[in-house]
Amino acid sequence: MRIIPNGIFMRVIHLNVASIFFLFLYLHIFRGLFYGSFKFKNTWNGGVVIIFLLIITAFLGYVLPWGQISFWAATVITKFLRAIPKFGGIILIWVWRRFSVSNFTLKFFFSLHFLLPFALLLLILYHFICLHFKGSSSKISLAAPPLKIKFTPFFLFKDFLNFSLILLFFIIFDIWLTREGENFIKANFLSTPAHIKPEWYFLFAYAILRSIPHKLSGVIIIILAIAILLILSLTIKKYNSKNLIFVILFIYFFFILSWVGFNEAVDIFVLLGLTFSFFYFSSFICFFLKFFFLNWIF
């Protein structure tokens, strides 16, 4: 940022595009839930794997700036590896490359942050191939006549326009809108920030994680928070409007948990996080039981 010409411009673009990317990703997931995209198992399951890899890639990028929030986020999150029975400590030292988060850790994380997107490209290609053979779940596209519209120029121009408008929003209002102010302070391992919170697209997961006091249970629960989406592809054969209630509840719990994660970890917000985490998982369990028993009876 300080040495390369126009480095600050490149960092601002990279930072805001990451937020825009996750915004479109979540909208894409909500759309998939609304239209019942999980009935296409290969497409849906491949998408869930993409989400996992995206979260890992984004986290690795988030901890790269040598700032207070990034440093302590890396320290706190990676320490959860210690909860793995027997081999946790060895894995943690291997990830840190030393006995604490240091410059060697950053170099390792930077390498992974650079390489993982190439694996993501392969997964996205697989996602496209599945979509090509199975088609879209959108009722609008299914009702339309079988006419093909070329990607260029219509869709290319439309996507570019939408992307430019959202990027313009960040440029006009605040180019550092999604960046925590304390992260501009150089990392200091002797001073812990009062409130360590991740980027907005990790807030729902952070709220779930901090509501579980046991480390290993917290790691398992946070993985299940995303992996539970896989349960949908095992239950649905035919999508109907009655499942719209489940979609609304899922979106509602997602935003509530994000709001809880944004606030400090005082008793009231920890309790709210625990409560809505229970509701979040209960909605999936009730949805699964409803489908299982209906198919068993009929």
| 147-176 pLDDT per residue, tens | 666 767 877 888 888 888 877 877 777 677
Structure tokens at 130: 């599945």
186 beta partners:
67
Which of 291, 281, 293, 295 has its CA nearest to residue 229? 281
- 42 within a domain of the structure (yes/no): yes
Q: Percent of the chain at pLDDT above 70?
A: 87
Structure tokens at 192: 């812990």
Domain that holds residue 224: 208-298
Question: CA-CA distance, 117 to 53, in Å (whole number)?
Answer: 9
Centroid of chain to Cα 134: 25
- 169 within a domain of the structure (yes/no): no
- 290 within a domain of the structure (yes/no): yes
43 with 114, same domain: the answer is yes
- 70 within a domain of the structure (yes/no): yes
Q: What angle (nearest 5°) sits at the alpha carbon of residue 201, between those of residues 200 and 203?
A: 65
Q: Domain boundary residue among 96, 111, 145? A: 145
116-125 pLDDT, tens digit per residue, is 999 999 999 9
Indicate which residues carry an active-site annotation: 132, 136, 158-159, 199
Question: CA-CA distance, 167 to 190, in Å (whole number)?
Answer: 37
Question: CA-CA distance, 276 to 253, in Å (whole number)?
Answer: 6
Q: Domain boundary residue among 109, 130, 145? A: 145
Query: Is 110 exposed, middle or buried, given 0-12, 13-18 or 19+ CB atoms closer than 10 A?
Result: middle
Residue type, 293: F
- 12 within a domain of the structure (yes/no): no
Question: How many domains, the chain?
Answer: 2
Q: Percent of the chain at pLDDT above 90?
A: 15
- 120 within a domain of the structure (yes/no): yes
Q: Domain boundary residue among 109, 127, 145? A: 145
Q: What is the pTM of this model?
A: 0.83
